[in-house]
A and B are shown apart, each in its own frame.
Chain A
Amino acid sequence: MSIDLVLTYVAFFVLAAITIIGGLLVAFVRNIMHAALALMMAFMGVAGIYLLLEAEFIAAVQVLIYVGAIAVLILFAIMLTRGLMTRTLPPENNQWLAAGGLALLLFVALVYIAVTTHWPVGTQALAGTDLIPKIGTELVTTYVLPFEVASILLLTALIGAIVIARE
């Protein structure tokens, strides 16, 4: 086995461990603030795995949106909710059985899909440098409708948040 491959495996297992430990902490930690920080850790692990797959663009976007925006928003929401910050909450309520069952079902479905799908394996490197212009062009030609629908959705959410905050 070449050194590159060994390193790739090592990096993958380290990143996978970061992601999984982060995910477990989110689910089982009693302090909601710690849970939010652990969520960031899991997001960073996923970004690392994207990097390992040579998807730099997706990795950067993952960090920018999931860690820099969504997780920070969650932190903000926790801080602005009275009493949520200092209290330690039990991580489960009376619906834990149903939630666990659903999560297990999702896990089984994902494993099934991962095992049965035929994953094409290429031998040559990805078209690295001109990948980003391609993503941009595709977004405003082939996928222009989903792209615009997503932006309208976000705009609606933005206006809705402002309206709620004003009341």
Chain B
Amino acid sequence: MDTEKLTYLKEKAREIRYLTMDEIGYLGVGHIGGCLSIADVLAVLYFDEMRIRPDEPNWEDRDRFVLSKGHAGPALYAALAAKGYFDKSELHTLNRPHTHLPSHCDMLLTTGVDMTAGALGQGLSCAVGMAKAGKAFHKDYNVFCIIGDGESQEGQIWEASSIAAQWKLDNLYVFLDYNKFQIDGGLDDINSLIDPVKRWESFGFETEEIDGNDIEAICGALQRMKAVRGKPKMIVLRTVKGKGVSYVEAAGAGNHNMTFTPEQTLAALKELE
């Protein structure tokens, strides 16, 4: 991939991380770990891959995005603000009374959010519905969806993936944020996915596992996936929960929902400048 594009997307990922940290730090609490882990894939989707019009957010032919792990809403809001869906100053209203930016995604409140999600497991089914509707309407849009690894313990994820393959939804691209932590501890200590690539392959998905914090790897996997017809796609993103802020990364399982003092926020932002 050309270096100019790579530099641009890396800068966008940095900006998403910075805005997310500022957004959550300003409030003093939030789901920082699972936000920072997906900043790179959000940068690729919103600044390279997706066919979207920020000035026409409900454009019928747009690509759709569903953040099934809805608690990472603040990262999506940062990407949407950076893309120009709304003013960046709105990010400081996160979770305040009457905000348009609630902790978990709400399509009725936030410009640019395509689906309400956050009750884990449901977003992927909604993405399947959107992809199936696209086929029925003879539209050529794609649907992108990010699920969590902890979220994959919900049975509905497997109901959704099963029917997506049955329906041959090759316009559906699912990313698994495989950061290996959940609220109660390490994923493998609680309820392991054992081998997510084998699982998703056996469910009928074109599957690839990559370094999920590597922009070039994400772009490359997407390009390879696009050539595949007749089946839905799964890209397993090996990520670091809290990626980009050493203090957050070091908290490990403790970074799912963290509190920040103004001093901690400033130090974190300095690291992301």
| A, B in one complex | no
